[in-house]
Structure 1
Amino acid sequence: MTALPTPPATPADVDVLIVGAGPAGATAALVLGRQQRRVLVVDDDRPRNARAASMHMYLTRDGAAPADFRSAAHAEATAHPGVTLEAGRVDTATVGSGVVTATVVTRDGGPTTVRARALLVASGVRDVLDHLPGLAERWGGDVVHCAYCHGHEAAGRRVVVVSRTPADAMLAAYVADRFTRDVVLATGGSELPAELAERVRAAGVQVEEAPVLGLSGPRGAPSVDLDGERSLPAEVVFHRPSTAAADLVAALGCGTAPGGEVLVDAQMASDVPLVWAAGDAALERGAAAPMAFVAAAVADGQRSAVFIEQHLFLG
């Protein structure tokens, strides 16, 4: 008879420590809770989509408020006795001798050392919004980033795409092709390559190459301010900012993509033993770009939890 795997002798306070309780982290907690695992989820209550009025492309929840989805997700995950959700942050984490040792700072208490048999980074990435005056306060309202998430709501409206890289020209062309013919691409002072400029103008996009100084205007009627005291009135502004990872990722020493995402394999494992990543915090090696959708984050959370569970079982 084949002997069954036995749990490792390494002492641990929990089986899995999850950093972040967004769609990926909460889903992973739900999966692991159903497997009777001891799970601690630590969340700083700063979801990436907090400013958005609605989320989309998620069956049965299209148009739902992100806060409502988040609340329901937390309730479902913590309904399992082994799952604990704490408001706070994970300051540091190290891996050694078959265990992850983390410093957890909860909102209601001081630093606590937590030892876990596995760590899941599901803390997302941070959108960098300080490079344009007026951007941060309009983010998630009049200013959005994704044509798949928000293009439908922009149909028939006046759109200005504020470019950060030449690739954003294709975002403008796509919006013009799918949703509205009233599209201006503000390149921020950069000149488009000739072939790309021709492609964009063929799509009916007006190209404005003056430097962008910032955003202004009342809610629902933003303006993109240009050098020379000119402005581009809009109803919707698209802008794809750069992103940055949480400090914990750098401290762990995980390999990362240019946007700060943890590079993972098909099992959502990082190149650091005992550390997995999911959701916006992760990018599978070889992928061209992150799939920063709620549904994709949920799928990541489930996949990572399944492989973490197999690791815990097999040892």
Structure 2
Amino acid sequence: MHYDAIVIGGSYAGLAAATQLARARRRVLVVDAGQRRNRFATHSHGFLTQDGTPAADIAARGREQLMAYPTVEWRQGKVTAARQAGQGFRIEVEGSGEKQEAIEARRLVLATGVIDHLPEVPGLAERWGRHVFHCPYCHGYELNQGRLGALGVSPLSMHVALMLPDWGRATFFLNGAFEPDAEQLAQLQARGVALERGLIARIEGAMDIVMRDGRTITQDGLFTLSRVEVASPVAAQLGCEFEDGPLGRTIKTDTMKATTVPGVYACGDAARQGGSLPLAVGDGTMAGAATHQSLIFGGH
């Protein structure tokens, strides 16, 4: 079966990319494994016209609108392999209870997302997306200027700690990750950030941080950085270059979201450091348009 483009990943970036191709009346297949990165969050914030909308509803509505285009097909499953084949590409898809199937297309769009590797604090992962967050722009306002913690995982956590006072009463839990120098201590003091040097034993209740010395420090929300890993091996299999960043490795792209492999585009969290729903949609829109133009004009 042959398509103009296969979009691997059917979350926000993939939906946006596929929509541009569909509107150009190109034959598109979207393959999705059903693992949105923000599936743990109940609501999305900061996305124009959708502020406060359940995240799952935005994804569902996007898919419904995409599938109204007659040239689009959707395949639920996991892409297990990809390689160049002639003038295009061949992928292998493993679906639920189905045998693996080979499918070909002239172009590929990688919107695979990332896996978050969270700090190893007992109780933290269970609260991810509900009381523990990665982005104050996405979730800070709803915490109503309450007690906000920044969990130290590296010196980069200083950035998060210094931002938090704009959203609430901030405490920086160093948790043995690093020790601020004199200049950093002065910055924290100037911003009114309280410093907690004790080690965290676990998190209980809604957001009760139990310290190893027996104290309990209750917060309304905790912000931390995760290490990210591209959620699919496909980019590596195709020979795409990656970039090392402060949060992990992501797929290298140019301003048009083209990877280093001609004919392969990448968008969303797998192809940028840091991410949000609005940024994913913007990236996907660019990738879809660039993919379409490459089908006409050739080149990368």
Which bin holds the TM-score, normalised by the shorter protein?
A: over 0.9
- 1:152 matched to which residue of 2? 141
- 2:72 matched to which residue of 1? 83
d(CA) in 1 for partners of 2:257 and 2:103? 22
- 1:223 matched to which residue of 2? 208
d(CA) in 1 for partners of 2:159 and 2:290? 37
- 2:230 matched to which residue of 1? 245
Local SS of the residue matching 1:196? helix
- Supply the AA of the counterpart residue of 1:253: G
- Supply the AA of the counterpart residue of 1:208: E
Alignment of 1:163 with 2:149, yes or no, is no
d(CA) in 2 for partners of 1:164 and 1:156? 23
* 1:263-282 pair list within 5 angstroms: 263-282=252-271
The count of aligned residue pairs is: 293
- 1:299 matched to which residue of 2? 282
Deviation at 1:82, TM superposition (A): 1.1
Deviation at 1:108, TM superposition (A): 4.6
- 1:5 matched to which residue of 2? none
- Supply the AA of the counterpart residue of 2:108: L
Counterpart of 1:209 (choices 197, 203, 212) is: 197
Deviation at 1:54, TM superposition (A): 0.8
Deviation at 1:224, TM superposition (A): 2.3
Alignment of 1:37 with 2:26, yes or no, is yes
Per mean C-alpha deviation after superposition, the further-off stretch among 65-74 and 29-38 is 29-38
Give the TM-score taking structure 2 as reference length: 0.93
Local SS of the residue matching 1:159? strand
d(CA) in 1 for partners of 2:83 and 2:61? 32
Summarize deviations over 1:257-309 as a string: whole Å, max 9, x none: 332321100110111122110111113xxxxx43x121111111111111111
Per mean C-alpha deviation after superposition, the further-off stretch among 69-78 and 255-264 is 255-264
- Supply the AA of the counterpart residue of 2:282: A
Give the TM-score taking structure 1 as reference length: 0.89
- 1:23 matched to which residue of 2? 12
Deviation at 1:231, TM superposition (A): 3.2
d(CA) in 2 for partners of 1:175 and 1:282? 26
- Supply the AA of the counterpart residue of 2:52: G
Unmatched runs of 5 consecutive residues or more in structure 1: 1-11, 284-288
Runs of 4 or more, structure 1, over 3 Å off, are none
Change (3 A) 1:248 1:229: farther
Deviation at 1:145, TM superposition (A): 1.0
- Supply the AA of the counterpart residue of 1:152: Y
Summarize deviations over 1:112-157 as a string: whole Å, max 9, x none: 0011111111011111136222121100001111111111112321
Percent identity between the two aligned chains: 31
The answer to whether the 8 Å contact 2:7/2:31 transfers is yes
Change (3 A) 1:214 1:273: farther
Alignment of 1:188 with 2:175, yes or no, is yes
- Supply the AA of the counterpart residue of 2:279: A
The answer to whether the 8 Å contact 1:95/1:273 transfers is no
- 1:197 matched to which residue of 2? 185
d(CA) in 2 for partners of 1:199 and 1:271? 40
